[in-house]
Amino acid sequence: MSSSTRGCKPWRNTLRELSYATSDTALAYTRGLSRARRLREFKALGILRVQTVCFDFGGDIGPSGEALTSALPPSTHRLRLLGPGDLAPGLLGLVGAVESGRFGQLRTVEIDDQGDEGDGRESEARRGLGDVAAAFRSARVSFIVHPLSLQE
């Protein structure tokens, strides 16, 4: 993500939409965590599509509840997170930031379905999303979970 944000830096005041994906998720994770915070420099960025691995949902460099709020610019109005992860703490942190006015323009958050454990049991990551969906509804933010079949 670092080279992408660095390459876009000349447009940090005007860039409105950014999509970022990589096939090397291990590299994206190890190098992307702190660098995702550079997104805050993009003052006009409204639409962002990015892999979950680029954010610190695991709490490796800060509280997992700040995974998104520490990285996203306040101008974000549509966020699409691609891929799996324990997203609930970071998403709930984002809801709190919306309610406090820090992300007042946010209207839509989209994620991929977090799947099951492979044996038909619901994954822990998926179980926490009910509270997340209710919290976003309460904050008047559309929360969309895309089925796994649409990700391919």
**Per-residue pLDDT tens digits for 11-45:** 989 999 999 877 765 555 555 555 677 889 999 99
Beta bridge mates, 102: none
Domain ranges of the chain: 2-150
Distance CA 130, CA 151 (A): 21
Distance CA 10, CA 121 (A): 47
Structure tokens that stand for 10 in this block: 């000349």
**Residue 150 pLDDT class (50, 70, 90 cuts):** very low
Distance CA 22, CA 10 (A): 22
Task: State pLDDT tens for residues 93-149.
Answer: 999 999 999 999 999 999 998 876 555 555 666 777 889 999 999 999 999 999 865
Task: State pLDDT tens for residues 34-73.
Answer: 567 788 999 999 999 998 888 888 888 889 999 999 999 9
Q: State the residue for tokens 């323009």.
A: 105
Beta bridge mates, 114: none
Determine the pLDDT at residue 45.
Answer: 95
Determine the pLDDT at residue 60.
Answer: 83
Determine the pLDDT at residue 152.
Answer: 43
- Domain 2-150 matching CATH 2.60.120: the answer reads no
pLDDT at 151 over 50: no
Distance CA 84, CA 98 (A): 23
